Chains A and B, each alone.
Chain A
């Protein structure tokens, strides 16, 4: 079944809803946030699901299931680093610290990489 295309506005709404529902904060830098919104929009329209913008994809939902945003590694990464792998979702504490998300180690098991 062909997926309906999404606009960046659709993605913005999705991301904001997730952050409110989960009690997370979004990346503080509007430019970086726009990079991620753009990346999620491209990936949704390319694959049909919100493939993490900072990870490589199989292009198959079953194999990418653990890295569909918000990914399975988001909460463990937040507890270790204060934010998820791509820097989109922050804990309240990290957000209030004023620090900026940096690249963090990849928690996903290598055997799941494409």
Chain B
């Protein structure tokens, strides 16, 4: 899933998950999500969707919609290719990622 996307890797403890973050480089909630992952030393990979070419952006969003039957809003965290968190609410991300 999304193997054609050039993700940036962030090392850390991904707690046994494969975490792919789709964000906008301009979005406040995306920056807050990234700060949360950093503070909790979570390992993940990310891409800034607003910096993709329109064709690739469309391909990513179509694939996301097909897989999860919901629009890609930001931030969107894809977990092990079969689950997702859309938008950033700290409590929800803590729970889903097993962060105290």
Cβ-defined contact, B74 with A39, below 8 A: no
Taking CB atoms, residues of chain B closer than 8 Å to A40 are: 26
Shortest C-beta distance, B97 to chain A (Å), equals 16
Taking CB atoms, residues of chain A closer than 8 Å to B30 are: 54
In Å, the complex CA distance between A98 and B83 comes to 33
In Å, the complex CA distance between A53 and B72 comes to 15
In Å, the complex CA distance between A64 and B16 comes to 39
Shortest C-beta distance, A50 to chain B (Å), equals 11
Cβ-defined contact, A53 with B27, below 8 A: yes
The count of residues in chain B whose C-beta lies closer than 8 Å to any C-beta of chain A is: 22
* B25 nearest CB neighbor, chain A only: A42
Cβ-defined contact, B57 with A86, below 8 A: no
Report A's interface with B, CB cutoff 8 A: 27, 32, 35-36, 38-40, 42-43, 53-57, 59, 86-88, 102-106, 110, 113-114
Of the candidates A32, A38, A55, A103, the one having the most CB atoms from chain B within 10 angstroms of its own CB is A103
How many interface contacts (CB-CB < 8 Å) are there between A and B?
65
Taking CB atoms, residues of chain B closer than 8 Å to A42 are: 25-26
Shortest C-beta distance, A87 to chain B (Å), equals 6
Cβ-defined contact, A56 with B28, below 8 A: no
Q: What 4 A-B pairs come out closest when comparing CB atoms?
A: A103-B87, A39-B26, A53-B26, A35-B28
Report B's interface with A, CB cutoff 8 A: 24-32, 49-50, 54, 57-58, 61, 71-74, 87-89
Cβ-defined contact, A106 with B26, below 8 A: no
**Known contacts A40-B26, A103-B88, A103-B89; is-contact A56 B49 (Cβ 8 Å):** yes
21 contacts between A and B (CB under 8 A): A35-B28, A36-B28, A39-B28, A42-B26, A54-B24, A54-B28, A54-B30, A54-B74, A56-B50, A56-B57, A86-B27, A86-B28, A87-B28, A102-B87, A102-B88, A102-B89, A103-B88, A104-B87, A105-B87, A113-B61, A114-B58
A54 touches which one: B29, B54, B72, B89 (CB < 8 A)? Answer: B29
* B51 nearest CB neighbor, chain A only: A46
